[in-house]
Amino acid sequence: LPLFSNHDYDTSLEVNGNKLYNSTSEPVSPCSSVDSVPIEDGRVKVKRKLGLLSGTALIVGTMIGSGIFISPKGVIAGTGSVALSLIVWVACGVISLFGALAYAELGTLISKSGAEYAYLLEAGKTFPKWIAPVPAFLFSWVSVFVLKPCLFAVIALSFGIYAVEPFYHGCEAPMPLIKLVSVVCICLVSAVNCHSVNLATKVQNFFTLAKLMAVGVIVLGGFVMIFKGHTEYINEGFEDTAKDPSSIALAFYDGLWAYDGWNNLNYATEELKNPYVNLPRAIMLGIPLVTICYLLTNLSYLAVMSKETLLASNAVAATWGAEVLGKAALLIPIFVTLSTFGAANGSCFTGGRLVYAAAREGHLPEVFSYIHVKKATPLPSLILTTIVAIMMMIPGDIFSLIDFFSFAAWLFYGATMGSVLILRYTKPDAPRPYRVPTVIPIIVLVISVYLVVAPIIQQPRIEFFYASLFILSGLVFYVPFVLYNVKIKFLEPFTTFIQCALEVAPSKYAPP
């Protein structure tokens, strides 16, 4: 690869005699395809490598992380009764499915990667020009610098906790060690994702299968116990059901966290083969599968322990393992590490795609939209996500970020549901290969408004104010860099450097 050209700031790159350009330079030579990455007018295109199976695995494998092994406690605490907790678990699955079906309409109407970002950008065009990109910009601002790296870090941290647990049986493992192991997990996952899309997909498929088998073991163990007649705890039914709606809302927060990730395939629609068919199908296969897994897993927990035992346990799955598996209880931390590693891989994959999509529209420095000329991985954006995720590990209590996460995430899920309705109005005749019944986005919109507003009203905490302030502070960058299009001169040599060092080139959206 002859990487350097004659000009000082020429950010073009030659591959097999074909010149690649950044978006500001004019291409002068016709380009044909290079190795495996298609090139057109000087830009590289990402390849469509995900089929239906890998797409479904991306959804299922990111949704099932550590939540199902930890959250049941929160759901029981909020609902008070066994029966209501099971209802909440199913209801969370239905909400996720509804949300994802609305995203399926958006993803097949606007088949660009980046999920909420791409949809808010399109729906925003209804507003006056100067304000149109604001919702999408603020979403990318919060997601790139907080939400996605935070998710990645939280999952890596659950990996760290469970990976060292067997070595400290009965005592508390040192936090620095847990964090070190978590950082290793982040780096490993990131390296896989930088190396190849194929490898990342294979890793995702493998770990999804592994975690489904782990869930299968728990479910099977539960069935055996139920057949032996252990139904006394399940039979408690609605005993002690909570009356307070705010405590039931808390149960929903915990449940929905375990289901989070239902929107993941929408981040990578440009890499999905035949997205018009496969996106809705993957959603309709993946989310009900996760719902059934979660329901059966909860039944299995309740076949073994009373809700009091469940409430007293910090790691439900571990308590279950000690009861049912006896000596083989060591399997449980292994299951959880496998599960969290897979979820971390999926989160890294999609986090990187969001940065890439936002940079391509000029909402982040252009270099973050470049992809590797041969591997077609969005290297700079993956590296950015990784660095921010590692920085998130530094502060002590990362779990307080989950509160911020739920607040901000549902704010944007709600806005995206609004986009479905806006786009129905502004683009009534655009082809919609999948059309969701209109009540579905309306229901999810109402739920998301409730999930955002209820905690603020019930327990007005200063954190929500800070969180809102942080979201709005993105405008400080929006006004000069997007609205007035100020170019930072010193970024040019930086872009050239990154382009040469990482062998990355500008990319182009390729419609399916």
**Binding interface with ligand ARG (CB under 6 A):** 62-63, 65-67, 151, 155, 258, 260-261, 264, 343, 347, 350
- What SS3 state is found at 88? helix
- List, in sequence order, every residue forming a beta bridge with 40; answer none if it has no partner: 43
Rounded to an integer, what distance in angstroms lies between the CA atom of residue 193 and that of residue 147?
A: 19
Strands of 54-94, DSSP E: none
Listed in sequence order, the DSSP H helices in 260-367 are: 275-304, 307-312, 316-324, 331-360
Rounded to an integer, what distance in angstroms lies between the CA atom of residue 170 and that of residue 190?
A: 32
Say if residues 166 and 330 touch (Cβ distance below 8 Å): yes
Q: Which of 133, 68, 112 is nearest to 339 (CA)?
A: 68
Say if residues 197 and 47 touch (Cβ distance below 8 Å): yes
Which helix (H) or strand (E) covers residue 19, if one does? Answer: strand 18-20
- Indicate the Cα dihedral angle 197, 200, 203, 209, nearest 10°: -80
User: What tokens appear for 427 in the block?
Assistant: 């683009």
Q: Which of 389, 341, 42 is nearest to 203 (CA)?
A: 341
User: What tokens appear for 281 in the block?
Assistant: 């199908």
Strands of 65-127, DSSP E: none
Q: Name the amino acid, one letter, at 28.
A: V
Cα 476 to chain centroid, rounded: 26
- What SS3 state is found at 20? strand
Neighbours of 225 (CB within 10 A): 19
Q: Which residues contact 232 (CB under 8 A, 6 or more apart)?
A: none
C-alpha separations of 219 from 116, 188, 289, 302, 317 in Å? 34, 31, 13, 11, 11
Say if residues 358 and 351 touch (Cβ distance below 8 Å): no
DSSP 233-251: TGGGTTTT----HHHHHHH
- What SS3 state is found at 459? coil
